Structure 1
């Protein structure tokens, strides 16, 4: 399972700019992002829960917004997984629904900096899993509007689990790090695309 190699430099300023743009566009579209401190709290998985019981407790089908990924764009993307995180090694504990984000060309080297918000679902077994990406919204740095992607066909990736996830379709998704922290589950990784555009993916739930 490959490591996650994140960029440095001016990428942080560019990511901040695109997140601000995303928030403004979502507000204009009437999609209101609820600040994390005002959201309904969740108890997470019961103490001692394992495998599918953990997955069931965290699984979500709620649509994402850019606020859901500040933990990633402002911290983990640059500094790595927090030291007090507990890594998840059990495939059954990561199955079910997630909120997701893909960040493209974060340093704008190809003038294609942007992001897509989506929902993801992981099903199957460690030896034969499916990762389905249900597209929701795209925002590009040089555009003045968001692109509704809800009518796009879902993309299904097939792969396996070896302490992390690797799955392929028209590109390959690597999610080597799944972890739990403060009653939430997270995953971070990268995508190898056919055009070699740098792309990074993160998941969170609930």
Structure 2
């Protein structure tokens, strides 16, 4: 038998770390939807007979090429998306949450010192007049932006995971953001332990191979 154990404090780490709610009355329902997303991912590990693992916190990293454990996690993410696309009755709300998760992950990466507030450009005292984070809905990414991620931990960075989920989904709600998600992934910048930059092309080229759900 396989057992999924989830420390529910992880859900609050996501909610608070990525500033996902404006009022405490939103927390309970969001916890439930995030738990659905977590369980769908863990079912992917069971489907593929992955070895046992644990995840404690948000010190993540990303390397398509060098870290086998990252590939395992990305594969489970792909399974989760197929599962949600096929069976989730509240998938419109879940994909709304994933958009917020991806968007705020990008914002935090671009403006780590001021998040959730935007960071101002040099010479501007008002960040809303000049910022690395574009205004408007969806995933905030400008043509000249590069999204830095850390190469640490056992799981890929949230920017990569949640943007890739939107890229993979065939649900009409998520597909609206597919091109934005692709642009975010193309602008991810990773420096490996040897100091070299790594490409995300391998991620985009292999991400279509998500499994059928039976």
TM-score by length of 2: 0.28
More helix by share: 2
TM-score normalized with structure 1 length: 0.28
Q: Greater Rg, structure 1 or structure 2?
A: 2
